Structure 1
Amino acid sequence: MLKWILILLIVAAIASLLGLNSIAGAAMNVAKILILLVLVLFLLAVLGIIAIA
């Protein structure tokens, strides 16, 4: 999942440099959602609420 976040951030950076603001915004929003999901899963794993096997 971290690989997808990095790919989306790179796509957003390149799109913004090329002036494609709508594509950059969409990629950034998806990256933000994935970052939030990773953080929530990490916190749940640290607190022991879910067990990752």
Structure 2
Amino acid sequence: MVPLLLVLLLALILFGAGFALKALWWIAVIVLVVWLLGFLLRSTPAGGKRSRWYRW
């Protein structure tokens, strides 16, 4: 009975980790797309020189 519970617990942990990793990949892709859009669509100031689109 104990080995069966351990196998089920391991399967549950691996399923949870797989779901979390897949969600993290989707978040990373969304952040990359937002960053690329901000990089490509940045505005040009009056001087004509392109500035950074972020304020760090």
TM-score band by shorter chain is: 0.5 to 0.7
Q: Which has the higher helix share?
A: 1
List alignment gaps of at least 5 residues for structure 2: 1-9, 43-52
Supply the distance in 1 between the matched residues of 2:28 and 2:38 (Cα, whole angstroms): 15
RMSD, aligned CA: 2.2
List alignment gaps of at least 5 residues for structure 1: 1-18
- TM-score, with length taken from structure 2: 0.52
Structure number with the bigger relative contact order (C-alpha 8 A, sep ≥ 6) is 1
Aligned length: 34
- TM-score, with length taken from structure 1: 0.55
Structure with higher Rg: it is 2
Aligned AA for 2:17?
Answer: A
Identity rate, percent:
28
